[in-house]
Structure 1
Amino acid sequence: MYAWGGDSGYATEGDVLVNKTADGVDLNTIWQTAATAMALYNRERSALAALISYPTTNIGDAVPQSLTVDNFEVASEFGEPVGIRSAPDALVLGYDFQDYDLASRMTWKFLRSASAEQVKDAINRAFEADNRKVTGTLLRRLFDPAQGVNEHGHRVFGLWNGTDGMTPPPHAGLVFPSTTSHYLTSGNAVVDPGDLLDAITAVRSKGFGTTAATRLLVLCHPNEAEEISTFRAGQEFSGIPSKFDFIPSASAPAYLADENIVGQVAPGEFGGLEVLGSYGPAWIVPSYFVPQGYLAVVATGGPNSSLNPIAFRQHTNPAYQGLRLIPGRDQRYPLQDSFFQRSFGCGVRYRSAACVVQVTTGSTYTAPTWAWS
């Protein structure tokens, strides 16, 4: 649609002074507004992306795969105390990296005829596309067991999958087999209480989501969230009895109940995301970013916490971090042919900190396809 001719011809047309949109808004004002919005946008990443990831500039890390604790011992008069040392189960995990960009392609003729809202709409669409790219890439890593490799040859892992020869480290006296996988199938056409309990147990049994520093979240499509909201303790769903009641969150509409609620009700919001309610120790967080037919139980330490399961890798140079708005080749009119650029990558840091369930009658896990990103 936008042909590229000789540079001289293009520059000649660009010499025509276009300093305002059709409704009289100064183009430099729009550029400054876009730059300010970009700074604010980069300061606070997508709520969902921030809750499951930890920002880093490292190409990889050696991360212990269990949350070990140190203990004091009885002191002796002449002895040396036991020392704190690095955990022996540290795993070298790599994080991939890629550059992405998107052009606005606003020529001087378009800017002359467009309203300020039309120009700002192109910028807002770039924000939305960046949010989809970042959040979608992080979720793909969470839901896909396939192992990758980064540009330095470090392996980029998903969660435990039972096929790569690696075994979760023991925790609290529990020893896990080499076939341990955090990619499960439900065995039913709809989500049932057993699916949730299996995923919650897989995470908690390895020491994640059991302390005040972390919170268990169930990330799922609103359709699965609606099904979970019907679970009641002692009742069967798809032939599976429920161990817990679903309890609506503090932001739920008023409702009548025959029984009293014992314990603390989940908040209506956590880390900028809606909380529908709770099921046992986990809070239910519906999101259209999660593909229908899948759910993930995730132990999060909060937005951008180092305890979160996925690393969000950025460039070591701060100038190349975040979403960047780069002016077009005619510096007098930066909105012309400007483009947006983002450089990032990811990889799982804690392979035990999440568990994914595919809602299917089959017995083999298949990673989801993502039609929207």
Structure 2
Amino acid sequence: MNTINSARFRDLFAFGGDQATGYSTSGDVLVNQTADGVDLASLWTQAQTAMQMWNQKRSALAALISYPTVAPGDAIPQSLGGDHFEEASEFGEPTGLRAEPNALILGYTYTDYDIASRFTWRFLRDASAEQVRSVIDRAFEADNRLTTGNILRRLFDPTQGSNEFSTPVYGLYNGTDGMIPPPYAGQTFPPENSHYLVSGNAALDPGDLLDALNQVRSKGFGVDGNSQLVILCHPNEGELISTFRAGVETNGIVSKFDFIPSASAPAYLTPENIVGKVAPAEFGGLPVAGSYGPSWVIESHYLPVGYVTVVATGGPNSSRNPVAFRQHANPSYQGLRMIPGRDQRYPLQDSFYARGFGTGVRYRGAACVVQVKASGAYDVPDWTWR
């Protein structure tokens, strides 16, 4: 993070230095405050402070499905558990634990991004502090859009790529790249096993959710107390899911589970009794709409309409989450950075916002995406409007 000593910065920005050494004096300063009397140096300091807080609270949706790392890649087992004790013998030695035989080399991309804010001195002279802050707020929003959007794109896109070290960067299992999920709990999987499904119906039905849940659980994810299954969807799909009832047909498919509103739901009347614990009001900083079977339903307008995804999450920024969020190994280049431009006496006049990161799937079986579509192959969502 580029930081500036506030006292030294104020001297340079508002009052300058000794004229004999080539610096402007206080009388030569073009503008040092906004039209409503707010000191420009204090606005810069406030922006730096806000930037530090912003970096500590990355988007809750992105954090729920990702894990921060500085590694360009990892060797990660694609199934959980599998080791067994053996009966001890008097003279023999026990079998040693070996490196995981099903560990997969997974790469993570890395790209630098930037955007600038530029003000003329006349604009700063006549603008209010709120007008200046609004531009900084837009940079924060753009950063959130960039990071969250790229993490979701990686989850919803089966396309394989590579990073700068030519290490393969994967999506979830797609059934076309020759990668077969490792056996789990006595189950083996065919080469065409994919975690990108098409509903085969023009509307979402309970069978779509059950198929996605089974795909994730059959690989060993979301079946223990260390992770939680969540259904992430747009509110349009969330509204339909809230109508699913066990034994009741929806869009031609009978539901196996009831949708149960969460603890934050408005009061409602029901002739039936709820058995068991209801879903919490929020999880990882996100509101929970309710539960469906072993999963919690979380809605977000940031998710694409016509898609639902089931994710086994260990919680915000957990190492068990399916997507890696790679940052630079040097802490100075991590997070969103605000950098003064060419004339550091007037940093607000020409400043840069920089962010460097990349993504890649860590656990290819820890999530499953369903596209609501009557027929055809899976289509990657259109993210251009986000």
**TM-score bracket, shorter-length normalisation:** over 0.9
Question: C-alpha distance in 1, partners of 2:198/2:318?
Answer: 29
Indicate whether 1:112 and 2:125 are aligned.
yes
- 1:246-325 aligned within 5 A: 246-325=259-338
- 1:233-244 aligned within 5 A: 233-244=246-257
Find the counterpart in structure 2 of residue 8 from structure 1: none
- 1:181-196 aligned within 5 A: 181-196=194-209
Q: Structure 1 unaligned segments of length 5 or more: list them.
A: 1-10
Question: C-alpha distance in 1, partners of 2:153/2:51?
Answer: 25
Find the counterpart in structure 2 of residue 91 from structure 1: 104
Task: Give the drift of 1:69.
Answer: 4.1
Q: Deviations over 1:106-148 (max 9, x none)?
A: 2222111111111111111111110010000010010011111
* Letter matched to residue 232 of structure 1: R
Question: C-alpha distance in 1, partners of 2:82/2:136?
Answer: 48
Q: Structure 2 unaligned segments of length 5 or more: list them.
A: 1-22
Find the counterpart in structure 2 of residue 232 from structure 1: 245
Find the counterpart in structure 1 of residue 14 from structure 2: none
- 1:1-373 aligned within 5 A: 16-373=29-386
CA RMSD of the aligned region, Å? 1.4
Find the counterpart in structure 1 of residue 9 from structure 2: none
1:358, 1:365 within 8 Å by CA — same for their partners in 2?
Answer: yes
- Answer with 72-81 or 132-141: which moved more: 72-81
Q: Deviations over 1:167-210 (max 9, x none)?
A: 00000000000000000011111111000000000000110001
Q: TM-score, normalised by structure 2?
A: 0.92
* Letter matched to residue 103 of structure 1: A
Task: Give the drift of 1:253.
Answer: 0.3
Q: Secondary structure, in 3 states, of the residue corresponding to 1:335?
A: helix
Task: Give the drift of 1:372.
Answer: 2.3
* Letter matched to residue 38 of structure 1: M
Find the counterpart in structure 2 of residue 5 from structure 1: none
Question: C-alpha distance in 2, partners of 1:117/1:100?
Answer: 26
Q: Secondary structure, in 3 states, of the residue corresponding to 2:350?
A: coil
Q: Deviations over 1:150-178 (max 9, x none)?
A: 11101110000000011000000000000
Task: Give the drift of 1:80.
Answer: 2.1
1:68, 1:87 within 8 Å by CA — same for their partners in 2?
Answer: no
Question: C-alpha distance in 1, partners of 2:264/2:84?
Answer: 41
Number of equivalenced pairs: 362
Structure 1 runs of 4+ aligned residues shifted over 4 Å read none
Larger radius of gyration: 2
